[in-house]
Amino acid sequence: MNDDTETYPTHSTNPKSIYTLQFGLLCLSSLLFSASFNMLIPELPAYLSSLGGAEYKGLIIALFTLTAGISRPFSGKFTDTIGRVPIMAVGSMVCFVCGFLYPLLISVSGFLFLRLIHGFSTGFKPTATAAYVADIIPQNRWGEALGIHGLCFSTGMAIGPAIGSAITLYFSINVLFYCSSALALMSIIILMNMKETLQPKQRFSFSLFRISKSDVIDRHVIPAGVVTLISYMPYGAILTLIPDWSKHLGIANKGLFFMVFTIASLLIRFVAGKVSDRHGRVNVIRAGIAIIAVSLIVAGFGTTPFVLMAGAVLFGIGSGIASPAINAWTVDLSDPQYRGKAVATMYISLEAGIGLGALLAGTYYQDVIERIPISLFICGGIALTALLYMFVWQRTPLYKPRASNLY
């Protein structure tokens, strides 16, 4: 790691400071990291079935998100103490190692164990990345910066599944696993050339593994956490159900849905972050969640590839609107001294939502294809409860609007 001690002004007013080399490297690293683990997703349900574990498909995502959520309090504490860059590197390193182990552990139990370990990757890197962005970008442009970064992360989500399915189709699943490791390695190489922004920072010690209750949840960002948990449950269900639903509809590339919704998300992110900076996080989040709910209903009626892809476009638009606004809202609500913990709290909610959605969907689905539309309709209703929560929250004494336009 580059130990350069150069610091960055947290609240710079330089309008050009968002487009720096460091920010560009950060975005590229996140793109590669995202592609690394997302390229596996469309092929894992069929791979698990080939190992004899079809009934455990709901655990593919649930186990991944379980360890991601468990690791968040640690990654948040480490991000606020030993530095942003080392913690980002740990996340990419986990992806690198797991890619090589999948071809070796070919039993159902071995596969599920690896999914558990693989989850540590997203438990570490995104937490430190969001804190790094907040360090180097002016506060009045957090929404824009997180939107641009999210665009790059989503690019990895878009190209990863499509490339992963193509690699498996023309080569083999083992080649796919090795390619996943290669992308993670490139992400690590980029991080090695990035400057640390946390000052002062501590040396690593095992005492940092002692986690108190105050290290787990940042109470200031609980509203953002609740909205994140509820609104990401449908995403967990989609990760579990859509590969099989795509195959049922005759779509050869099971990553196509993910590519379409992510491209739609990318396009809207060009403007969504700026809109939340100007017109308020809460208003933008509401709009995004409403579109997500509609998209799930459309996808449930997707008995043809065209209708399913229409649902994918709407899901991408809704996610692209809501995601950067939720990230920026979390940073808005946080104490600058504990940004790592605040971001970790939001990501704990995210992983819990994805994992719970995947587990419930997989438990209900059980390889009965006719149950998928019903599951998607239910997910649409779940998304609407996040919208309802936001209206109720604003009517409680806990809601304290600021003079700024962030609400």
Q: What is the pLDDT of residues 225-245, one digit of tens each?
A: 999 999 999 998 988 888 888
Residues composing the chain: 407
- Lookup: tokens for 57: 């498909």
The pLDDT of residue 342: 83
For the cut 80, the answer to whether the pLDDT of residue 71 exceeds it is yes
Helix boundaries (H) for 171-280: 173-191, 213-216, 222-248, 256-279
Give the three-state DSSP class for 66. helix
DSSP 370: T
Tell me the average pLDDT of the chain.
83
The residue that leads in pLDDT, 62 or 23, is: 23
For the cut 60, the answer to whether the pLDDT of residue 7 exceeds it is no
Give the three-state DSSP class for 18. coil
Q: Which of 116-125, 153-162, 277-286 has the highest mean pLDDT?
A: 116-125
Q: What is the pLDDT of residues 111-133, one digit of tens each?
A: 999 999 998 898 888 888 888 88
The Cα 72–Cα 70 span in angstroms is 6
% of the chain with per-residue pLDDT over 70: 91
Confidence label for 17 from pLDDT (cuts 50, 70 and 90): low
For the cut 80, the answer to whether the pLDDT of residue 401 exceeds it is no
For the cut 90, the answer to whether the pLDDT of residue 59 exceeds it is no
For the cut 90, the answer to whether the pLDDT of residue 313 exceeds it is yes
Q: What is the pTM of this model?
A: 0.68
SS (H, E, C) 112-169: HHHHHHHCHHHHHHHHHHHHHHHHHCCHHHHHHHHHHHHHHHHHHHHHHHHHHHHHHH
- Range scoring the smallest mean pLDDT among 84-93, 167-176, 185-194, 358-367: 358-367
% of the chain with per-residue pLDDT over 90: 30
Query: Mean of the pLDDT values across residues 67-84?
Result: 85
Query: Mean of the pLDDT values across residues 9-23?
Result: 60
Query: Mean of the pLDDT values across residues 173-192?
Result: 94
